[in-house]
Amino acid sequence: MKFLDQAKVYIRSGDGGAGAVSFLREKFVEFGGPNGGNGGRGGDVVLECVDGLNTLIDYRYQQHFKAKTGTHGMGKNRTGADGADIVLRVPVGTQVFEDDNETLIADMTEVGQRVVLLSGGNGGFGNAHFKTSSNQAPRHANPGQVGTEKWVWLRLKLIADAGLVGLPNAGKSTFLAAVSAAKPKIADYPFTTLHPNLGVVSIGERDFVLADIPGLIEGASEGAGIGDRFLGHVERCGVLIHLIDGTQEDVKTAYKTIRNELAAYNELLAEKPELVVLNKIDAIEPDALKEKVKTLKKLSKADVLQVSGVTGQGTDKVLYAVIETLDAEKAARLEAARRKVEPNWTP
């Protein structure tokens, strides 16, 4: 299935049904009167978050969605049926934006979540509604309220616990394939990965979701290479695994390039917990390896983990570090939430 993480769609709610003008006419009823029913309400446009989807490909081939019009009212005080809703089913992590692609309408983060994007028009009143003591035979009814319409953007941000970032050919896809059952495309040329990949990683008695996005290069925030459009898929991650190719000469520049692009895209993304990982250590001489680890440690002010995606060396240590970081982040969030409820509590 082709991966699609952004789509623009046209939505329109249903018009309300018109009220009816009708009068009671029966042979043995001496006094008749107005009995026109009201029109039915127009259908809503509803967004629903469902399980089993991980792409917006359905909205590549259909971009127009219109709810049904309410049924008109009828005689004998019969109210028209409401128009059927139109339901747009989207994967977890989908955000809905206005036509300007900046104003957020809804953020779908849980399966079963439903949001009404546009409400249908109200049905019109029939002439029976207008009957009064001074106007016992009204001969008019209301038309139904017209539905509303607009264009919206759907943007998918994958839900993952950890995200892989790095330059092209840093070994991100190889690492993902080594630690999960995912089978991303792997080759010896840059930009092998053209769209994000997800894998479920199991380590010990725990598991988490790992996301691999296409490689970044200098100037990605300005559109160089594939650009930074896929960075949104790691915005929700609890920790970033910054993978660096150990076989290249200048690991310092490689590290700084990615950090600069993360900061240019979103400061919050640059502030996320980061694990610095030097990859391809099986192809590096011990002395060179020691020097590159020292350089990265001084630059990042953090421990540098060493792995080989091909042989699997050191991968478990990285995965346990991810679990530890995720647990620490969760504990910090719970503590912050508790502090809001009980700001003065102390153990």
Q: What is the pLDDT of residue 71?
A: 95
Sequence ranges of the domains in the chain: 1-156, 162-341
137 touches 33 (CB < 8 A): yes
Task: Identify which of 176, 165, 184 has the alpha carbon closest to the alpha carbon of residue 232.
Answer: 165
- Over residues 114-149, the pLDDT tens digits come to 999 999 999 999 999 999 989 989 999 999 999 999
Which class does domain 1-156 fall in? mainly beta
Q: With a cut of 60, say whether residue 225 has pLDDT above it.
A: no
Mean pLDDT computed over 42-52: 93
Q: With a cut of 80, say whether residue 186 has pLDDT above it.
A: no
Q: What is the pLDDT of residue 218?
A: 73
Mean pLDDT computed over 109-113: 90
- Per-residue b or e along 229-250, where b marks 16 or more CB atoms closer than 10 Å to that residue's CB: ebbbbbbebbbbbbbbbbbeee
Please calculate the CA angle 112-113-114 and round it to the nearest 5 degrees: 110
Mean pLDDT of the chain: 86
- Over residues 231-281, the pLDDT tens digits come to 777 888 888 989 888 888 888 888 888 888 888 888 888 888 889 989 888
Higher pLDDT, 194 or 150: 150
DSSP letter for each residue of 324-346:
HHHHHHHHHHHHHHHHHH-TT--
CATH architecture of 162-341: 3-Layer(aba) Sandwich (3.40)
Average the pLDDT over each of 50-54, 178-182, 340-344 and give the range with the smallest value: 340-344
- Over residues 6-38, the pLDDT tens digits come to 899 999 999 999 999 999 888 888 788 899 999
- Over residues 50-88, the pLDDT tens digits come to 988 888 888 988 999 999 999 999 999 999 999 999 999
What is the model's pTM? 0.76
